Homo-oligomer: A and B are copies of this chain.
Amino acid sequence: MRKSNTSAPGEATPNHVTAEQRPISTVDVVIFTVRQERLCVLLTRRAQPPFARRWALPGGFVHVGQDADLLACAQRILRGKTGVQSPYLEQLGSWGSATRDPRGWSATHVYFALIPPPDQPLAPDAQWVEAGAALTGAGPLAFDHADILATALARLRAKVEYTSLPAYLLPQPFTLPQLQRMYEVVLGRAVDKSGFRTRMLAADFLQEAGQEAAAAAGRPAMRYRLRENARPAYFPRTFAPRAR
């Protein structure tokens, strides 16, 4: 049998849901970067309960008087922890349940950021942790943040197979060999140089930015910037080594 949920008597109908019945609303941001050829994620150590002294993803409550929308809230959190202004930032999803926060029914809107290693110092409670180690080492993460981080990692690795996302892990301008290394770090495997270059240049999201100054040995590389209006490029196929 089907039951309508809009007007059953005794049930809280939309206009009768009071503020006390509202779930807690937070925003968390999974911030990735590559440091020393390692994929790292930013974690903060919680000062207050719940989960005091545990590591957690950077996040906070939606400030209804301050945040215009969810994206602005995520940007505020990102800027607060890293000082970075305009990175790649997309929504990952939301996690909400009666049990994920001991304070009550809670839902978090999760964003996903890619940034170059920042020049400014991090917030004092924040630290870069290698992505794999964040899931295993140094004790469990607060809340359901291990789930969230695992989902973010899976999404990153999946999208790197067919998008130009790793370009956001580098400061501009960058060279194609540098970009290739970003792909290799995230994917955890080597990528063929020739195919890689053809693919990147064909995708038409880069513009030349002058020759690199010759530093050590070797031919200096061409530098590139993201084109204006640079949304990430989507490739028609995934990177696929012969053996499936």
List residues of A whose CB falls within 8 A of some B CB.
1-6, 11-15, 17, 19-25, 47-48, 60-65, 67-70, 76-77, 79-83, 91, 93-99, 104-105, 107, 109, 120-121, 123-125, 236-238, 240
Most B-side CB within 10 Å, residue of A3, A17, A25, A60: A25
Cβ–Cβ contact A70 & B83, under 8 A: no
Cβ–Cβ contact A70 & B95, under 8 A: yes
Tell me the minimal C-beta distance from A117 to chain B in angstroms. Answer: 15
Cβ–Cβ contact B69 & A96, under 8 A: yes
Tell me the minimal C-beta distance from A112 to chain B in angstroms. Answer: 12
Cβ–Cβ contact B96 & A62, under 8 A: yes
Which 6 interchain pairs have the tightest Cβ spacing?
Answer: A2-B83, A69-B97, A5-B80, A64-B105, A70-B96, A22-B22
Which residue of B17, B19, B93 is within 8 Å of A93 (Cβ)?
A: B93
Cβ–Cβ contact B14 & A104, under 8 A: no
Enumerate chain B residues within 8 angstroms of A109, measured Cβ to Cβ.
Answer: 94, 96, 107
Cβ–Cβ contact B64 & A98, under 8 A: yes
Tell me the minimal C-beta distance from A136 to chain B in angstroms. Answer: 25
Enumerate chain B residues within 8 angstroms of A15, measured Cβ to Cβ.
Answer: 48
List the number of copies, as a whole number. 2
Enumerate chain B residues within 8 angstroms of A1, measured Cβ to Cβ.
Answer: 83
Cβ–Cβ contact A3 & B80, under 8 A: yes
Most B-side CB within 10 Å, residue of A20, A68, A104, A107: A107
Tell me the minimal C-beta distance from A172 to chain B in angstroms. Answer: 21
Assembled-state Cα–Cα distance A102/B232 (Å): 34
Cβ–Cβ contact A69 & B98, under 8 A: yes
Most B-side CB within 10 Å, residue of A24, A83, A125: A24
Which residue of B14, B20, B93 is within 8 Å of A61 (Cβ)?
A: B14
Cβ–Cβ contact A14 & B94, under 8 A: no
Tell me the minimal C-beta distance from A179 to chain B in angstroms. Answer: 23
Enumerate chain B residues within 8 angstroms of A3, measured Cβ to Cβ.
Answer: 79-80
Enumerate chain B residues within 8 angstroms of A14, measured Cβ to Cβ.
Answer: 48, 60-61
Enumerate chain B residues within 8 angstroms of A17, measured Cβ to Cβ.
Answer: 24, 61, 63
Cβ–Cβ contact A23 & B240, under 8 A: no
Assembled-state Cα–Cα distance A81/B65 (Å): 35
Tell me the minimal C-beta distance from A84 to chain B in angstroms. Answer: 9
Tell me the minimal C-beta distance from A12 to chain B in angstroms. Answer: 6
